[in-house]
Amino acid sequence: MNPNPFNGTTTISYYLPINKAIQINQSGKGAIDLKTSDIPLGVYQYSLVVNEKVIDEKQMVHTK
């Protein structure tokens, strides 16, 4: 399952229309790789914030 549960590495996919901008240096489709070695086991919530407005929120579970 992507991203739940994940072990090793997970990919969080996103799509940014050309008329939106955040601290990602590309438009269109993209992905962010998150290495589990960088974070402890647990439940994580993440949000897409554009112009200080929450657009979407998700949850993922990091297990052994």
CA 49 to chain centre: 11
Read off the pTM: 0.54
Rounded CA gap, 61 and 44, in Å? Answer: 6
pLDDT at 25: 67
pLDDT at 1: 45
**43, β-bridge pairs:** 61
Q: Cα dihedral sign for 21, 22, 27, 29?
A: negative
Domain boundaries, the chain: 9-62
pLDDT at 19: 47
One digit per residue, pLDDT tens: the chain, 64 residues? 456 676 777 777 776 554 464 467 677 888 877 777 877 888 888 888 777 888 889 888 888 8
